[in-house]
Amino acid sequence: MPKLHYSRATTGEKVAECLLDPADAADSGLIGDLVSAAAQKGAALLWVHSRADLSGAGFTARPGFHEFCADPCPPGGEELPVLPDEVVLGLLPRTFTGQWGHKEFDPEWAVSPEGIFLGLRSGGEWIGLCRVEAERRAVDGPGFVPAARTDDGVRRLVLAAGARLGPGPVTVETWGEDPDPYLAAGFELTKWDGGWELILPG
């Protein structure tokens, strides 16, 4: 049986999460075992990452994981400010709320030395941020405060992150998002995994 990992969603529910090989998805006994194990541990939601179609087992499809690449990064990136830790710590708990695949805010992850955050303002307020890791030449899909996410905001942050990395390839990793804004910005979809959610009894 795939190993279940436990955490909390940004909305507070306890989540059991696993990867499922598409070849195993037709095994109703295995799916039942995952549901039982997750429920026994008090999880409210079961998240399964798989390219298989789990709708027949009662799961609801969610936007899963997408990886995009470009070499070189598409042009047009503006220079956006690097956020100090105190701004990141104040902003991150309000971003990604309700976005599938994201976990409850962890301050240790927020101030990890592996990356910096670029910020986006509107009306004098910080509304979005984007994590950039120079060593991996990787960018995390941007997060926004509630109701502030737009395709243009996604494009501005991701292209600014690419410009910050300079010449060369750029990889963007996202969870729970529509791929269209990234494709429209000039990135190519290189990997994906479907997202599936089941509300557990109790």
Q: pLDDT digits over 49-80, tens only?
A: 999 999 999 999 999 999 999 999 999 999 99
pLDDT of residue 115: 87
d(CA 63, CA 49): 10
Predicted TM-score (pTM) of this structure: 0.89
Looking at the structure, do residues 93 and 126 belong to the same domain, yes or no? yes
- CATH classification of the domain holding 152: 3.40.630.30
Per the structure, the complete domain to which residue 21 belongs is given by 5-64+194-199
For the segment 29-56, the average pLDDT, to the nearest whole number, is 96
Q: ω into residue 72 within 30 of 0, thus cis?
A: yes
Looking at the structure, do residues 148 and 78 belong to the same domain, yes or no? yes
Q: pLDDT digits over 119-143, tens only?
A: 999 999 999 999 999 999 999 999 9
Looking at the structure, do residues 94 and 185 belong to the same domain, yes or no? yes
- Could you write out the DSSP letters of every residue in the chain? -PPPEEEEBTTS-EEEEEE--GGGTT-HHHHHHHHHHHHHTT-SEEEEE-SS--GGGTPEEEEEEEEEEESSPPS-----PBPPHHHHHHHGGGSSTT-TT-BS--HHHHT-TT-EEEEEEETTEEEEEEEEETTTTEEEPPEE-TT---HHHHHHHHHHHHHHH-SS-EEEEEES--SHHHHHTT-EEEEEEEEEEEEPP-
The C-alpha angle with vertex 187 and arms to 50 and 161, in degrees rounded to 5, equals: 105
For the segment 158-178, the average pLDDT, to the nearest whole number, is 96
Percent of the residues in the chain that have a pLDDT greater than 90, as a whole number? 87
d(CA 43, CA 178): 26
Whether residue 108 is predicted with pLDDT greater than 80 in this model: the reply is: no
Looking at the structure, do residues 117 and 103 belong to the same domain, yes or no? yes
d(CA 34, CA 13): 17
Looking at the structure, do residues 55 and 76 belong to the same domain, yes or no? no
pLDDT of residue 28: 81
Looking at the structure, do residues 158 and 188 belong to the same domain, yes or no? yes
pLDDT of residue 192: 95
User: How many residues make up the chain in this entry?
Assistant: 202
Q: pLDDT digits over 85-101, tens only?
A: 899 999 999 999 989 99
Q: pLDDT digits over 169-185, tens only?
A: 999 999 999 999 999 99
As a whole number, the mean pLDDT across the chain is 93
CA distances from 98 to 10, 118, 121 (A): 6, 22, 21
Looking at the structure, do residues 59 and 76 belong to the same domain, yes or no? no
Looking at the structure, do residues 83 and 60 belong to the same domain, yes or no? no
The count of domains in the chain is 2
pLDDT of residue 113: 67
Whether residue 158 is predicted with pLDDT greater than 70 in this model: the reply is: yes
Q: Token pair for residue 49?
A: 């990452």
Looking at the structure, do residues 74 and 97 belong to the same domain, yes or no? yes
